[in-house]
Amino acid sequence: MTPTLSSVPEEILAEILSRILNVPDEMFSDTSEISPFAGSSQSVCALLRLGVCKRWLRVATPLLYGTVVIRSKGQANALATVLREQNLGRFVRNLRLEGGFGRQVEDILYPQMHSQHH
């Protein structure tokens, strides 16, 4: 019998998806004048890949939210909403803010810090 993607164990699927969704530490901490994330559509492509099936989405969601890069107020607002409404903050391990966002940063960080103490 020929194996299919639906028969691949979730641990293997997570390993495959982590290679697609991983942001290397060197890239995340790059302080060049031009951000390595400027003009990047990696997250959009990653989201499109996750539309394959609910199983892939379930396996990849922690990987997708593991490293978050915010470059605009719109992104900051969207992240704050998703973290608040879908409780995805537990997956965020690295957060890079490129710019000043004021209230949006509080909306992102405060609920996550508050939940850490309970």
- Least Cα distance to 83 among 116, 109, 57, 63 occurs for 109
In Å, the largest CA–CA distance within the chain is 56
How confident is the model over 31-48, as pLDDT tens digits?
888 888 876 555 556 555
- Least Cα distance to 38 among 46, 26, 30, 49 occurs for 30
Q: How confident is the model at residue 117 (pLDDT cuts 50, 70, 90)?
A: very low
> Does 51 or 32 have the greater pLDDT score?
32
Q: What is the pLDDT of residue 15?
A: 92
Q: What is the pLDDT of residue 76?
A: 86
Q: What angle do CA 61, 55, 45 make, to 5 degrees?
A: 50
How confident is the model over 59-100, as pLDDT tens digits?
888 988 899 888 888 888 888 888 888 888 889 899 888 877
Q: What is the pLDDT of residue 47?
A: 56
Q: What is the pTM of this model?
A: 0.70
Locus of tokens 């969207």: 78
